[in-house]
Structures are given as structure tokens and as C-alpha cells.
Amino acid sequence: MRIRTAISIISALLLAAPALAVDAKSATHLSSYTWREKAIWFGGFSALELSEDGQSMTVLSDRANILTATITRDGDRITDVTAGKAYSVRSSRNRILLGWAGDSEGLAIAPDGTIFISFEGVHRVARYPKLGSPAKVLPRPKAFEGLARNGSFEGLAMDGRGRLYTLTESSRTIDGQIPVYMWNGQGWSTPFTLPPSDGFLPVSADFGPDGRFYVLERDASLLGFRSRLRRWEVTEGGVRAEETLFRTGTGTHDNLEGLSVWRDQQGRLRATMISDDNFLGLQRTELVEYLLPE
């Protein structure tokens, strides 16, 4: 999400304040790494996808830039990130996306390498055969028309059957639930909703190798950002077995917006997250990893 309000900017400026302790329910914090680059495309990262071995990643900025990068680790600690070539996310007419049309927020990559991106400014999901290619926009149902301009599709995830799931940041159903929309290759449906709580808003989603649905959430205040990670089991009848894996104190991490859940070489579940620095000097692009319980 592009933070434009005075409250959000103040939140970013106050991130230098001492961090409060993590209220870790089940997950264990492994590593936090500040990534720095001088390239013009760097910053504003809202989504990431890791390779199965966790050594490479694809990252997406909310200003319509996408690139791959290599991660170096020393045990459980990230020690370096090497960026590859950056590409502009393009329209269906092969034009570089600008302004609200280029507010790219969610990322999912199919096993064959096909890239899917969700957009928040102009509510849509688009398909890309490869990095730098023109878009093929998926059909947009009427349900997308009334969504908040700066509060729709922050997260995008693909399940083991190739179905896409996207959810809204601030737009809610009539009864106040978080709507989750699913694309099955032919049309959109709303297979389930999620319960909001404690002021957190969804900013990213992923299906882990365990088949469960993970949602990263954020809360912004005058003192900084809080983060929370929840997961559910998805069934034909909806979702069940909600778990809160961690909930941080204000300022523990930067503005975490991207999430990828994967299994390391020891067979352990990990969540890797990336922060959106909003292109503000006092914020940072941070890669954060947690070890997750089975």
C-alpha cells in the first residue's frame, strides 16, 4: 500500500524508536537483514516469492518493477542479497505502467514460471508468461468494482491445484469479514472469508508446502508498525483451524508486506518476509525470516 496520509508518514519517521519485544506465539525469529541498493528501481517492495531451496527470490515493487535476486545465508542467518536485472511491469499493450495503474502489490508464480500480479489502484489480476512480457488481464467481476481504491488486492497466492486466491486489505463484506476471491481458470468466486481482529489488515498471502493458507497482516500507528502471521487449513467448505504464528510489538520490524513460505534443507517450515520502505529515507528494506511450527 502507498502510504500518503500524515499519520502513516509520521509512523515511518518514528521507526527509529527502540523496538518492543516480539510476542512470539509459536514461530521463532531466525534473521533480519537490511538490503541496500543504489539502483533507481530499488524500494517499495510489496511481494516476494522464493525458490524451493530458498536461495533465489523474485521481488515486486508497488511501482511496477520486478526482479530476481540471490540470497546468501550463513546457517539460519541471511548475510547478503545479490540483485539481478530489474524489469518494468507492463500493460496488456506492452506499455510501462504508471500511477494508480501500476500499483502492483501481490505476486504468485506457477510451477511453469508463469507470473501473476495483483493490483490495488485499478483492481485486477494479470498474467505474465515471463519477466518483462505484456500482461493478459484476467476477467474482472462486478464484485471488484466497489472495492476501495487503496484497500484492495495486496495479497495473491496459488494453491497446489493452480487456483489463485486474492484478498482485500481494507474492503470488507457486509458483515465485516475479509473477502477471499478465487480464480479457478474460468471464473471468480468467493469460497470463504476471514475474520479481522485487533486492528490488523492483510498485506500478503501464500500457500505453504504444507498446503495451509498463510496471511501476513500489518497495523500502522503513530509509533510504527506491528506485524502478524496467521494460517488456516482450507477445505471444500471453507477454512478451519486458525492459528496465530507470531504477533510483533510496534517497531520490531519495518513495514512487512511480502510473504513466502517454504521448507529449508532440514525440512523445516520457514516464512520469509520483505518490507516496503515507502521510498522514505528513515525506513528500510528488511528481509525477515521466522521458523514456523508444523
- For 183-229, how does the pLDDT look when each residue is reduced to its tens digit (9 = 90+)? 999 999 999 999 999 999 999 999 999 999 999 999 998 889 999 99
What local confidence, expressed as pLDDT, does residue 223 receive? 83
Mean pLDDT of 176-184: 97
What local confidence, expressed as pLDDT, does residue 127 receive? 98
pLDDT tens per residue across span 109-128: 999 999 999 999 899 999 99
Contacts of 209-214 spanning 24+ positions with Cβ under 8 A: 209/261, 209/262, 209/263, 209/269, 210/269, 210/294, 211/159, 211/160, 213/157, 213/159, 213/165, 213/239, 214/157, 214/259, 214/261, 214/271
123 lies in a domain?
yes
Q: What is the mean pLDDT of the chain?
A: 91
Does residue 148 register a pLDDT over 60? yes
Q: Which residues pair with 83 in a beta bridge?
A: 69
Does residue 108 register a pLDDT over 80? yes
What local confidence, expressed as pLDDT, does residue 10 receive? 37
User: Hey, how many other C-beta atoms are within 10 angstroms of the C-beta on 77?
Assistant: 12
What local confidence, expressed as pLDDT, does residue 25 receive? 55
Mean pLDDT of 243-272: 96
What local confidence, expressed as pLDDT, does residue 26 receive? 86
Does residue 149 register a pLDDT over 90? no
What local confidence, expressed as pLDDT, does residue 150 receive? 84
Provide the number of structural domains found in the chain. Answer: 1
Domain that holds residue 126: 6-292
Mean pLDDT of 258-266: 97
1 lies in a domain?
no
Residue 292: closest CA among 210, 218, 227: 210
Query: For the chain, what percent of residues have pLDDT higher than 70?
Result: 91
- Of the pLDDT bands very low, low, confident and very high (cuts 50, 70, 90), residue 21 is very low
Does residue 23 register a pLDDT over 70? no
148 lies in a domain?
yes
Does residue 8 register a pLDDT over 80? no
- Of the pLDDT bands very low, low, confident and very high (cuts 50, 70, 90), residue 12 is very low
Q: Can you give the pTM of this predicted structure?
A: 0.91
Q: Across 52-95, where does the E strand assignment appear?
A: 56-61, 65-74, 77-88
Mean pLDDT of 124-150: 94
pLDDT tens per residue across span 37-90: 999 999 999 999 999 999 999 999 999 999 999 999 999 999 999 999 999 999
21 exposure class (CB count in 10 Å sphere: 0-12, 13-18, 19+): exposed
**CATH number of the CATH domain containing 81:** 2.115.10
56 lies in a domain?
yes
